[in-house]
Structure 1
Amino acid sequence: MLPHVWPRAMANGETAMAAAEILATPKQIFTALVTDEVERWWGSAETYRMTGWTADLRVGRNWSVTVRTADGRRLPASGVFLEIETPRRIVQTRRYDWDHPALGRHETTVAYLLEPTARGTRLTICHGGFAGFPDAAAEYAEGWARVLGWLQGYFGERRQVA
């Protein structure tokens, strides 16, 4: 059995970054990130779940989702796709339609880079736009490590690299 590569994350005050190797092809991961498949793996009963995912997967078009928290709140999030290179790269804006405790309604930009490896795919996430919100950058670095762990679990338990 191959060793497990745990997610790693860091923040520099303006940007949060995280990376992990996932036992799936870039195409499988790309699909899990930009379709309603996100509702199957993103979150946990103890934290939050993604529901109502919709996306028009074209540059300049919108995506939206509702974050359903463990205590039952429904928190909408949305954005616009800025770049799409299937299955290698996704860049999108992100904003909340509620007052996030560390970020408010400030819009940020998330870039996903998917690189094939011998075991599957290295997914690197670069989440920028936190200038003036260093606590939010640190919080998001931790959050992205958790998200990558959920994605690893989803593919590790349910799928094999084709």
Structure 2
Amino acid sequence: MDDVFKALADPTRRDLLDELFREDGQTLSALEARFAMTRFGIAKHLRLLEDAGLVVTRRRGREKLHFLNPVPIRLVHDRWVSKYAEPWAAALSDLKSRLESPMEKIFEIYIKTTPERLWEAITNSDIRSNYQFGNTFEADWKPGGRFVMRNVLADEPLGDGEILEVDPPRRLVQTMRALWGEDVKAEGASTITWEIDPVGDSCHLTVTHSGLREGANEQLYGGWPMILSGLKTWLETGQKLTTPGSLMYT
């Protein structure tokens, strides 16, 4: 968290995050045009934000795009904000949930665990219910397999989809169609990609939620920071993470 606080301490870096909040997935040239600063200066600030995990980059052809990653801010919220001032935590959660994406959202987190244990936590329904709002999964984890997401508080399934790729314990790709309301049903199917990279005694987990239309309903992707924070807490401490914002999904 020291890197996160250090990155947020600079007003230019905060302005860059605001700019990515306004329009995610921008190139260095696009960001440079909005600041009275040299290209080198903007690139240096972006590197510090990337090192802190607040910005994620992806290449699209010859372009390098920069995406806002709200997971570290969620962890700051869980560790430092919620226990001191619940209204502030609610406001921060609302800020996160208002993120808009033209095509995809990318979320990253580091978890002190093994790839095998992390894979199990993603694919085991009983474990997953501990950090994903009590939801369970009936899934056939192989290409072409189907899965259905349920919750004891709902009579009908909350979602379903198809498994596209399975490479344990490194990569899982699946489609997802939300069914918990008519508004999200209208969004159709999107794609969720889980990528696990071992780093020392930890794992670097990247979740990419793609296939979203521009202005997609925030309910489709707004819960990811809470889910990943809960996953990290469960694997590292064995405890469930309870936040005020998570209650709206149960």
Pair in the same fold by TM > 0.5: yes
CA shift, 1:17, in A, is 1.2
Q: Is 1:151 aligned to 2:231, yes or no?
A: yes
Provide the C-alpha distance between the structure 2 equivalents of 1:141 and 1:93, rounded to a whole number of angstroms: 13
Q: Which residue of 2 aligns with 1:121?
A: 203
Runs of 4+ in 1 over 6 A off after TM superposition: 3-6
Percent identity, please. Answer: 21
What SS does structure 1 have at the residue aligned with 2:208?
Answer: strand
Structure 2 gaps of 5+ residues are: 5-52, 54-69, 73-95, 240-250
Structure 1 gaps of 5+ residues are: 44-48
Q: Which residue of 2 aligns with 1:46?
A: none
Provide the C-alpha distance between the structure 1 equivalents of 2:184 and 2:139, rounded to a whole number of angstroms: 26
CA shift, 1:131, in A, is 1.7
Q: Tell me: CA distance 1:124–1:74, structure 2 relative to 1, closer, same or farther (3 Å).
A: farther
Q: Which structure has greater strand proportion?
A: 1
Matched pairs, number? 147
CA contact (8 A) 1:18 1:141 kept: no
CA shift, 1:135, in A, is 4.0
Provide the C-alpha distance between the structure 2 equivalents of 1:75 and 1:15, rounded to a whole number of angstroms: 27
Q: Which residue of 2 aligns with 1:54?
A: 138
CA contact (8 A) 1:15 1:126 kept: yes
RMSD: 2.8
Provide the C-alpha distance between the structure 2 equivalents of 1:139 and 1:50, rounded to a whole number of angstroms: 15
Under a length normalisation based on structure 1, what TM-score does the superposition of the two structures give? Answer: 0.76
Q: Which residue of 2 aligns with 1:25?
A: 114
Q: Cα deviations across residues 114-134 of structure 1 (Å, max 9, x unaligned)?
A: 0101241111010111124x2
Structure 1 or 2, whichever has the larger Rg, is 2
Q: Tell me: CA distance 1:61–1:90, structure 2 relative to 1, closer, same or farther (3 Å).
A: same
- 1:55-134 residue pairs with structure 2 within 5 A? 55-68=139-152, 72-76=153-157, 77-99=159-181, 101-102=183-184, 104=186, 106-132=188-214, 134=215
CA contact (8 A) 1:11 1:17 kept: no
Under a length normalisation based on structure 2, what TM-score does the superposition of the two structures give? Answer: 0.52
Provide the C-alpha distance between the structure 2 equivalents of 1:81 and 1:75, rounded to a whole number of angstroms: 21
CA shift, 1:61, in A, is 0.6
Question: With CA pairs under 8 Å and 6+ residues apart, which has the higher RCO, 1 or 2?
Answer: 1
Provide the C-alpha distance between the structure 2 equivalents of 1:74 and 1:152, rounded to a whole number of angstroms: 29
